[in-house]
Amino acid sequence: MLQWLMSLNWKEINLILAELDLPGFQIQRIVQSTYDVIALELHGKGKSKVLLIALTPGACRIHETFRAVPKSERPLRFAEFLKSRIVNGWIEEAVQLGDNRIVRILVRQGKNQYRIYLRLWSNAANFVVTSGEEVLDAMRRLPKRGEVTGGCYAPEESLGETAGEKPERAYEIREIPGDRSFNEKIDAWYAEHGGALSLEALREQVRRNFENSLGRLTASLEKLRAKEADYQAADQLKNYGDLILANLGSIRPGDTWLETENFYAPGTIRLRLDPRKSPAAQAETYYDQYRKAKSGLAEIRLEIQEGEKEQEKLEKTLARLLAETNPLQLQKLIRTKGQKPVPKGDRQRPGLSFRNKDWLIMVGRSAAENDALLRKHVKGNDLWLHVRDYPGSYVFIKQRSGKSVPLDILLDAGNLAVFYSKGRNNGEADLFYTPVKYLRRVKNGPKGLVIPTQEKNLHIKVEEKRLRSLEQCRLEK
């Protein structure tokens, strides 16, 4: 039956400890996956096992786990403390203190003996390490209880005062079908039903998170497609300009309308005119509107493609997370949104970064980012690119030892330089490139301003397909 309290009761703890038979095992590794979950990797008696200790409210427990326990992306304080004290230590004792759901584990490391107390109370759980009665550290530092470095923690004394004053509490060991050990069954049971760390709860959290993201993305794509439909009427603006030029002889000064045969469609058409402008100027106005609409249409379509790509990526990530069967791994993936951890250097680098075929391309989007990349993230042989005649981004290609920059990577960087410049709407531009060591800073000039020497020239036509491919190589922050 599965209606009992989520945390282990005292009878279950005794059964688990009896099966574990911990004395004689050596603690070889500590893994703290989250603030309240720690795993001890043990070896002894010719076998290895992983002891899971969870202080999760409503699901406090200790048992052997048969699932991978992922490491935290960054070192956690308590795990680092445990590594300094009990790693390579030998377990001499592992018992529950009466029926109070407090487990005491004695660990000897060289000449030192440490006491580990695991208080598995749903609303007041803790993991305390002492030397004698002096607290060395605790997972949850609780000064009022004395559970802080330098405090005093000796639960045996308080429990001894009440021994024999209360009847043994009536709990039963939960019945879980199967012929496996109780440790195996309880590990599987908590994976499915263990409160906030259960697969059911974690999958529901995944669904909520991704439904929100997908909902916002879908709404954004709908707006972009509506704008695309408006821009697709751009050809009509060009037609209007053509019709005005075709009727220059019949338009008189001060006319406010032109009614003429529409040689783009059957019938006649009536166009409003601005009496303050010449017919040729009015035609040019329509042509300007046409060019802006066509340029906008290309950008809108690129945004739609990027949005659809992001939508597909989110849907694939959602499916991958929902297929994960290890709750601890799923919890870690939720924290990272299903993404692989970004190397520390990539997280700290300003601007945008792209990695294609082991080549790193960096883009500064502002004068401050350009300057920061120049000062801290590039070296003399790294390649610098910039569009001629337009303000815009500095683009850098990190040099690889013994390698020359391939043409394909140079074109990638050139496309990014044009795309992140004021010349973007032209669809093409001239740019120059040179190694960073040939850049000279302008004395008393604006931040990041440099003058290149020994530069080479390159003409780039923006390739939407190349930009879409580069977006897949973009490093997440």
Regions of the chain short of the pLDDT cut 70: 1-5, 160-169, 193-201, 204, 295, 337-347, 477
| DSSP-derived 3-state class of residue 146 | coil
Q: What is the pTM of this model?
A: 0.50
pLDDT of residue 339: 64
pLDDT of residue 139: 92
Q: What angle do CA 210, 215, 221 make, to 5 degrees?
A: 125
- The answer to whether 24 and 91 are in contact (CB under 8 A) is yes
pLDDT of residue 346: 54
44-81 pLDDT, tens per residue?
Answer: 999 999 999 988 877 889 999 998 887 777 788 899 99
Measured between alpha carbons, how far apart are the two ends of the chain, in Å?
46
Q: What are phi and psi of 393, to 5 degrees?
A: -75, 150
List all residues 6 or more positions away from 202 whose beta carbon is below 8 Å from its beta carbon: 196, 327, 330, 331, 334
Pairing of strands 428-435, 383-387: antiparallel
**Among all chains, which residue has been given the structure tokens 């440099």?**
450
pLDDT of residue 200: 61
Token pair in block for residue 195: 């409160």
- The answer to whether 225 and 239 are in contact (CB under 8 A) is no
Ordered structural domains, the chain, with CATH: 10-161 (2.30.310.10), 208-335 (1.10.287), 344-472 (no CATH)
Cβ-in-10-Å burial (0-12, 13-18, 19+) of 194 comes to buried
158-213 pLDDT, tens per residue?
Answer: 776 444 455 566 788 988 888 999 999 998 888 776 554 556 667 767 777 787 78
Locate all alpha helices (DSSP H) within 77-137, ordered by sequence: 77-85
Counting other chains too, the contacts that 151-159 makes at CB distance below 8 Å and 24 or more residues apart are 153/117, 153/128, 154/130, 155/97, 155/100, 155/102, 155/104, 155/117, 155/119, 156/97, 156/104, 159/97, 159/98, 159/100, 159/102
Token pair in block for residue 218: 């879908």
pLDDT of residue 198: 59
- The answer to whether 73 and 90 are in contact (CB under 8 A) is no
Q: What are phi and psi of 111, to 5 degrees?
A: -85, -10
| DSSP-derived 3-state class of residue 410 | helix
